[in-house]
C-alpha cells in the first residue's frame, strides 16, 4: 500500500473539537515526519486533502498498486483505525503545565502527548546542530569576559523562566555604531535555540509581528536593526510586544474576528539609534512605558573593541566577530534542550523557581539604591532574571562558564543602562528636566528677550528676539570678593504648552518641576505666576528659577 505509516493517536483540541489522526513516517531521506490529519478531510476529496499532502511530505506509495487502489486502501486503513491513545492539539509552543513544547519535541511531563497544530503558523526554526560540548568550546567559551555576549546568551535562557515566576514580557535594545558587532551578538543569543535564521528583521507589519511573537512564546525573539521599522509605529509595536497581547480585529460584519494572539517572551533588538531617537524621526515622543518595555543598553563596551571586552586569543574584534559568525552556523540548539531537560526534571521545578526568585531579589538589592524608582526596579528585575537564568544554566552544566559570569555580565549591562538614562530615578522626571534644559541651552540667548532687572522693560541694547519663548532676567550676586550671576526665565504659557512640553502631560510636568524646586509657584500655589512682563502687562507665566545641571538628580529617586 505505502511505506510504513504509523498512527500515533487520535487528536482533538482542548475543547474536544477538531478531531483527527496523528501519523508518523520516514521520508526517503530517513527524516521522521509527523502530520495531524483532520477527520473532516476524510469525508472530502481524500486524494487531494490527505494523500496529496502525505506524498508531498515523502510518503511512498507501493509501486505494485494503482493510484486508485492505493488511495482506497489507505483511506480504509485510516478510516477504520480505533485506539484509546489520545493526543492534545495545542496552538502555541512553550509551557503546557509542566511540559515545554518545541516544534519537534515535548520536554517534561504532561497528562497527554501534545501536538502543535495551527494552520499557517510561522514556527520558529528551533533546531540542533553539533553537540553541547562543541557549543561550549566553540561559542560559550568566547562569551567569558565579554559581558554583552554573556548577557544576551543569559537572556536567551531567561525566556522559559518568565512563566515560572509570573514575570511580564520585555526586551533589551543594543544600540550604537553599525560596525560594533550587534548582529553577531544576536546570532550568538539565537544559537541557544537554533541557527542564524532565528534572527529576524524589524521590517514586519504589526500584524505579522503578532504571529511571530506568538510563535516564540515562552522563549526568545530576536529582532535586528530597529531602523527597518516605521518610526511612526515603532513605539506602539514595542508596547504590544511588552504587553504580550495582539490587537482584537473585527471581520467584515463588524463582529469579533480571530482570537487575539497572546505570548510571554523576552526579545533582543539592535539598531544604530535608541528607540527615542528613532521615534523622533517621526516627531513621536518616547513614553516611560515604552522605555521600560525595551531597555536600551549602549552596545559599545568602552574598551576600544566595539562590543567586546576581551579578544580571547583573536587578533582583533573583527576576527573574533567573524569566528563567532562562522561557528553559530555549525553549533546551535543543544543548549536549549539541555537547559529544558534539567529544568523539567521530575520534582525539581519548584526548587529551581525558588532559587531563581531569590537570585533576582539579591541582584536588585545589590545593584539599586533603596530609593530607586519603580521604573528602575522593573528594569533591574529583568536584568536580574537574565543573571539568574545564566547562573542556572551554568549550574545545569549547559554554559561551561565559571560561576558568576552571568551575574557580572548583567550587572555591567544594568549599570550601562542606568548611566545612559541618568540614574535610578523616574524616567518621566528625567525626561522633563532634560527637555527644559535642552531648550534653555539652545535658546536661552536667542529666544528669551533680555529683561533689565531695574524695571519692567526690555533691554533695548540687546539683540532682537525672533519667535520669543519668554524673557530672561540676569541678576548679580556678591559672594565675598567675587560676583556670580543667576538667570531667571519667564516662559510664556503658549510656548510652555505647545513647544517646550509639546506632547507631554502638562499637569505632570508642572507637578514634577514644582517638586524639584525648578518652578517658582504663584501665591495661589499654582505652577504659573502672575507677573508684569515688559510690553505685555500683567499676565501669568512660568518662572523657572533653577535648572539642575545634567547628572544632578536630587530627589528624583524618591
Is residue 506 a contact partner of residue 497, using CB atoms and an 8 Å limit?
yes
DSSP-derived 3-state class of residue 275: helix
Q: And the C-alpha cell for 46? A: 481524500
DSSP letters spanning 147-198: HHHHHHHHHHHHGGGHHHHTPPPEEEEEES-TTS-HHHHHHHHHTTTBSGGG
- What pLDDT score does 178 carry? 62
- What pLDDT score does 541 carry? 96
Q: What is the mean pLDDT of the chain?
A: 88
Give 554's strand partners.
Answer: none
pLDDT in tens, 317-332: 999 999 999 999 999 9
Q: And the C-alpha cell for 325? A: 559568525
3-class DSSP string for 112-142: CEEEECCCCCCCCCECCECCHHHHHHHHHHH
Sole residue written with cell 515535548: 106
- What pLDDT score does 255 carry? 42
Cα(471)–Cα(479) distance, integer angstroms: 26
Cα(122)–Cα(208) distance, integer angstroms: 9
pLDDT in tens, 348-407: 999 999 999 999 999 999 999 887 888 889 999 999 999 999 999 999 999 999 999 999
Cα(405)–Cα(315) distance, integer angstroms: 23
In this prediction, residues 488-514 reach a mean pLDDT of 87
In this prediction, residues 190-198 reach a mean pLDDT of 97
Radius of gyration of the chain (CA): 30
Sole residue written with cell 549547559: 398
275-290 in b/e burial notation, b at 16+ Cβ within 10 A?
bbbbbeeeebebbbeb
Is residue 496 a contact partner of residue 471, using CB atoms and an 8 Å limit?
no
Catalogue the E-assigned strands of 124-281. 170-175, 199-201, 220-224, 266-271
The pTM score is 0.77
Q: And the C-alpha cell for 149? A: 555576549
> Residue 256: pLDDT band by 50, 70, 90 thresholds?
very low
Is residue 337 a contact partner of residue 131, using CB atoms and an 8 Å limit?
no
Q: Is 166 exposed, middle or buried (0-12, 13-18, 19+ CB in 10 A)?
A: exposed
Tell me, rounded to whole angstroms, the distance of Cα 503 from its chain centroid.
25
Question: Does 242 score more than 90 pLDDT?
Answer: yes
Tell me, rounded to whole angstroms, the distance of Cα 237 from its chain centroid.
10
- What pLDDT score does 71 carry? 76
DSSP-derived 3-state class of residue 104: coil
Is residue 150 a contact partner of residue 401, using CB atoms and an 8 Å limit?
yes
- What pLDDT score does 252 carry? 46
pLDDT in tens, 86-106: 999 888 899 999 999 998 889
Question: Does 253 score more than 60 pLDDT?
Answer: no
Cα(179)–Cα(224) distance, integer angstroms: 14
Stretch (H or E) spanning 62: none
- What pLDDT score does 512 carry? 87
Is residue 88 a contact partner of residue 112, using CB atoms and an 8 Å limit?
yes
- What pLDDT score does 367 carry? 95
Stretch (H or E) spanning 89: strand 86-90
- What pLDDT score does 205 carry? 62
Question: Does 121 score more than 70 pLDDT?
Answer: no
* Domain spans of the chain, in order of start: 6-116, 132-345, 428-544
> Residue 29: pLDDT band by 50, 70, 90 thresholds?
very high
Question: Does 463 score more than 90 pLDDT?
Answer: no
pLDDT in tens, 131-163: 999 999 999 999 999 999 999 999 999 999 999
> Residue 250: pLDDT band by 50, 70, 90 thresholds?
very low
DSSP-derived 3-state class of residue 320: helix
Cα(186)–Cα(200) distance, integer angstroms: 10
Is residue 334 a contact partner of residue 342, using CB atoms and an 8 Å limit?
no
Question: Does 74 score more than 90 pLDDT?
Answer: no
Question: Does 531 score more than 60 pLDDT?
Answer: yes
The pairing of beta strand 448-452 with beta strand 294-298: unpaired
Cα(227)–Cα(280) distance, integer angstroms: 12
- What pLDDT score does 272 carry? 94
Least confident of 158-167, 412-421, 495-504, 511-520: 495-504
Does domain 132-345 fall into CATH 3.40.50?
Answer: yes
Cα(312)–Cα(185) distance, integer angstroms: 16
- DSSP annotation of 402 reads P
Stretch (H or E) spanning 319: helix 317-328
> Residue 558: pLDDT band by 50, 70, 90 thresholds?
very low
Least confident of 241-250, 292-301, 419-428, 529-538: 419-428
Q: And the C-alpha cell for 531? A: 507677573
> Residue 555: pLDDT band by 50, 70, 90 thresholds?
very low
Question: Does 453 score more than 50 pLDDT?
Answer: yes
Is residue 502 a contact partner of residue 495, using CB atoms and an 8 Å limit?
no
Count the neighbouring beta carbons within 10 Å of the beta carbon of residue 479.
7
DSSP letters spanning 470-522: EEEEEEEEEETTEEEEEEEEEE-HHHIIIIITTTS-HHHHHHHHHHTT-B---
DSSP-derived 3-state class of residue 325: helix
- In terms of Cα–Cα distance, which of 51, 41, 49, 44 is closest to 72? 51
Sole residue written with cell 546568551: 153
Amino acid at each position: 500500500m505505502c511505506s510504513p505509516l504509523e498512527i500515533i493517536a487520535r487528536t482533538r483540541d482542548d475543547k474536544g473539537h477538531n478531531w483527527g489522526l496523528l501519523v508518523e513516517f520516514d521520508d526517503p531521506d530517513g527524516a521522521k515526519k509527523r502530520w495531524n490529519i483532520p477527520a473532516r478531510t476524510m469525508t472530502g476529496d481524500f486524494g487531494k486533502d490527505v494523500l496529496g499532502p502525505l506524498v508531498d511530505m515523502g510518503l511512498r506509495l507501493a509501486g505494485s498498486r494503482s493510484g486508485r487502489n492505493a488511495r482506497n486502501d489507505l483511506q480504509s486503513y485510516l478510516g477504520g483505525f480505533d485506539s484509546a491513545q489520545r493526543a492534545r492539539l495545542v496552538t502555541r509552543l512553550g509551557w503546557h503545565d509542566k511540559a515545554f513544547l518545541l516544534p519537534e519535541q515535548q520536554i517534561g511531563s504532561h497528562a497527554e502527548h501534545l501536538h502543535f497544530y495551527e494552520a499557517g503558523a510561522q514556527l520558529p526554526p528551533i533546531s540542533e546542530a553539533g553537540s553541547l560540548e562543541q557549543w561550549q568550546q566553540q561559542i560559550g567559551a568566547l562569551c567569558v569576559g565579554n559581558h554583552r555576549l554573556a548577557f544576551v546568551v543569559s537572556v536567551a535562557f531567561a525566556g522559559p523562566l518568565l512563566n515560572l515566576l509570573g514575570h511580564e514580557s520585555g526586551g533589551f535594545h543594543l544600540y550604537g555604531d553599525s560596525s560594533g558587532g550587534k548582529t553577531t551578538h544576536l546570532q550568538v543569543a539565537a544559537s541557544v535555540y537554533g541557527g542564524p535564521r532565528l534572527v529576524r528583521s524589524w521590517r514586519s507589519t504589526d500584524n505579522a509581528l503578532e504571529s511571530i511573537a506568538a510563535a516564540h512564546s515562552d522563549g526568545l525573539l530576536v529582532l535586528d536593526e530597529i531602523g527597518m521599522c516605521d518610526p511612526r509605529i515603532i513605539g506602539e509595536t514595542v508596547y504590544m510586544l511588552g504587553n504580550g497581547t495582539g490587537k482584537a480585529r473585527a471581520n467584515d460584519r463588524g463582529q469579533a474576528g480571530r482570537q487575539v494572539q497572546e505570548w510571554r517572551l523576552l526579545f533582543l533588538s539592535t539598531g544604530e539609534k535608541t528607540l527615542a531617537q528613532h521615534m523622533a524621526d517621526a516627531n513621536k515622543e518616547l513614553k516611560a512605558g515604552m522605555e521600560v518595555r525595551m531597555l536600551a543598553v549602549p552596545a559599545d563596551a568602552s574598551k576600544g573593541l566595539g562590543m567586546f571586552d576581551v579578544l580571547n586569543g583573536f587578533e582583533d574584534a573583527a576576527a573574533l566577530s567573524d569566528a563567532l559568525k562562522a561557528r553559530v552556523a555549525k553549533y546551535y540548539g543543544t543548549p536549549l534542550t539541555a537547559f529544558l531537560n534539567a529544568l523539567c526534571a521530575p520534582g525539581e521545578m519548584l526548587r529551581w523557581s525558588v532559587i531563581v526568585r531569590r537570585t533576582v531579589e539579591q541582584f536588585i538589592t545589590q545593584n539599586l539604591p533603596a530609593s530607586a524608582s519603580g521604573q528602575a526596579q522593573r528594569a533591574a528585575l529583568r536584568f536580574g532574571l537574565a543573571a539568574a537564568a545564566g547562573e542556572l544554566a551554568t549550574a545545569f552544566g549547559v554554559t561551561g562558564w565559571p560561576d558568576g559570569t552571568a551575574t557580572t555580565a548583567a550587572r555591567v549591562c544594568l549599570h550601562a543602562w542606568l548611566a545612559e538614562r541618568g540614574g535610578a530615578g523616574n524616567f518621566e522626571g528625567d525626561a522633563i528636566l532634560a527637555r527644559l534644559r535642552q531648550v534653555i541651552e539652545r535658546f536661552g540667548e536667542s529666544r528669551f528677550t533680555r529683561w533689565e532687572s531695574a524695571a519692567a522693560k526690555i533691554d533695548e541694547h540687546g539683540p532682537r528676539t525672533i519667535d520669543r519663548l519668554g524673557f530672561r532676567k540676569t541678576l548679580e550676586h556678591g559672594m565675598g570678593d567675587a560676583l556670580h550671576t543667576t538667570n531667571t526665565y519667564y516662559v510664556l504659557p503658549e510656548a510652555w504648552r505647545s513647544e517646550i512640553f509639546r506632547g507631554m502631560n502638562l499637569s505632570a510636568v508642572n507637578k514634577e518641576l514644582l517638586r524639584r524646586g525648578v518652578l517658582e509657584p504663584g501665591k495661589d500655589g499654582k505652577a504659573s505666576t502672575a507677573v508684569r512682563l515688559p510690553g505685555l502687562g500683567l499676565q501669568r507665566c512660568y518662572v523657572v528659577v533653577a535648572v539642575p545641571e545634567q547628572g544632578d538628580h536630587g530627589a528624583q529617586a524618591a
